[in-house]
Chains A and B, each alone.
Chain A
Amino acid sequence: MTPLLQVKDVAKMYGARIGCTDVSFDLYPGEVMGIVGESGSGKSTLLNCLAGHLAPDRGEVVFDTRAEGPVDTVTMSEPARRMLGRTDWAFVHQHARDGLRMSVSAGGNIGERLMAVGDRHYGDIRARAADWLGRVEISDARIDDRPSAFSGGMQQRLQIARNLVTGPRLVFMDEPTGGLDVSVQARLLDLVRGLVREMGLSAIIVTHDLAVVRLLADRLMVMKDGHVVETGLTDQVLDDPQHGYTQLLVSSVLQV
């Protein structure tokens, strides 16, 4: 089987400071990988390099495209990368307002991504938007409301609907449950897990919440100071951490 994403020796420097360095891994279809580490460990920098939002200084990010097979997205043309960003890739931001258009209705937010890939029939677009609102548990009575009238948890679910409506194969998530209260978090986790299974999605999830990765991620990568210090199966890394930093991270979690 061809990996969906092959990351080879990616590095990003901010002047003399290390953003992230020496990162390599393969992600296979249907796999969910978690990236954990404290603030400033380079996990968001890495995610942005992988998703094409930042240009890495070194390395390759090879994506298995539908049309041409594995292609290095770092060196591909800007329009081609943008096209990927609208079709096979999705990016869920930590703050929903970074991923939504706040002055456009909920239905418009979802429909916009469909129109970007060529859908033109208004009735179809609206019907699919309503269907996706239902899947993320937002009443379709709210389809014409603007996201600014939604609660934080609803905005986050709307952002997920907007991202997944075009049937992407790879989803990048940056702290998707950060800032949400725990009951909303659980709902979102359940939703994401179901979508991963039904749609065969692969995902890379950056978070500092170990409980979130335990429930969502198959594999885990632990970062510190821009370096990957440990990788492995999620439950193995959390239950039998090998690196001193991971041991500290796991033992620092407050028990409820």
Chain B
Amino acid sequence: MIELQNVSKSFTLHNQGSAVIPVMEGATLSVKPGECVGLIGASGAGKSTLMRLIYGNYLAASGSIMVGDTDVAQAEPREILALRRETLGYVSQFLRVVPRVPALDVVAEPLLSVGTPIEEAREKAAVLLEGLNIPERLWSLSPTTFSGGEQQRVNIARGFAYDYPALLLDEPTASLDAQNRATVLGLIEGAKARGAAIVGIFHDEAAREQVCDRFVDVSAFTPRAAA
């Protein structure tokens, strides 16, 4: 489902003497449907960079990034948009939403964008928010005013609202209490059971042992101190 071949990435800082910073080289990864692969490596090794490359948020310098039938490294913006709508979900650590939109609609949005009727989308969103212990009186409020932990749970609910065939999870269990953490791990296991291919970053060791089938150490893709 997710196939990376020899992906490299560097940043060129045009306004700082055109410094070129290579950050990744020869990244290769393969994730099958129903499989969860954990990315490991020290901070700065490039775990998040790799995720962003898969999501099309960073532009790969070379190599191929196949998600389903789309090569994210080569695709037109329109193809990546369709991929993000229908195939590839991403739970980031930060919630970015239009202010004033109620939490319930924030969570329902991925469903609405694939054409789910609004009542049905809101019903699914309500079930997810309830499961993640967001009190019902907050559903009609914008999550921009929520606490950090609540925002993260809204973000997770949003990531799991639509059944994406491929999912990227960036620290989904960070800063959650035991009960919510168990709910999130349950959602991840549910997604695996329905055949989703998952790439995750978990600093929480017990969580990653529970849901990941294998691990990839991204420090193997860090360019050897050439600069």
Contact = CB atoms under 8 A, between A and B. Distances in A.
Interface of A: 28, 31, 186-187, 189-190, 193, 197, 214-215, 218-219, 231-233, 235-236, 239-240, 242-244, 247-248, 251
A239 B53 CA distance: 11
A193 B112 CA distance: 12
B77 A232 contact: yes
Contacts of B52: 239-240
A248 B99 CA distance: 27
B100 A190 contact: yes
Interface in B28-56: 52, 56
B174 interface: no
A111 B58 CA distance: 46
A240 B58 contact: yes
Contacts of B133: none
A190 B77 contact: no
B19 to A, nearest CB: 12
Given A239-B52, A251-B15, A190 B101 contact: yes
Contacts, number: 57
A189 B96 CA distance: 14
Given A239-B52, A242-B59, A233 B100 contact: no
6 contacts: A215-B98, A233-B77, A236-B57, A239-B52, A244-B14, A251-B15
Q: Which of B57, B58, B77, B97 is the most central at the interface, judged by chain A CB atoms within 10 Å of its CB?
A: B77
Interface residues of B, number: 22
B101 A233 contact: no
Contacts of B112: 197
B56 A233 contact: yes
Contact of B15 (A186, A189, A247): A247
B37 to A, nearest CB: 23
A247 B113 contact: no
B193 interface: no
Does more than half of chain B's interface fall in helix, strand or loop, or is it mixed? loop
A219 B76 CA distance: 10
Contact of A236 (B58, B97, B99): B58
A233 B58 contact: no
B99 A239 contact: no
Given A190-B100, A236-B59, A28 B113 contact: no
A7 to B, nearest CB: 15
Interface in B53-104: 56-59, 77-78, 80-81, 96-101
B217 to A, nearest CB: 24
A193 B98 CA distance: 9
B13 interface: yes
Contact of B57 (A239, A242, A251): A239
B15 A218 contact: no
A27 to B, nearest CB: 9
Interface in B97-124: 97-101, 112-113
A247 B17 CA distance: 13
A239 B77 contact: no
A31 B113 CA distance: 12
Contact of A233 (B12, B13, B81, B97): B81
B99 A186 contact: yes
Contacts of B14: 243-244, 247-248
A32 to B, nearest CB: 10
Given A189-B99, A215-B98, A244-B14, 14 more contacts: A28-B78, A31-B78, A189-B98, A190-B100, A215-B96, A219-B77, A219-B78, A233-B57, A236-B77, A239-B58, A240-B52, A240-B58, A240-B59, A248-B14
A28 B56 CA distance: 19
A242 B100 CA distance: 32
A177 to B, nearest CB: 12
A244 B59 contact: no
Nearest to B80: A233
Contacts of A236: 56-59, 77
Contact of B96 (A214, A232, A233, A243): A214
Contacts of B57: 233, 235-236, 239-240
A231 B96 CA distance: 22
Contacts of A214: 96
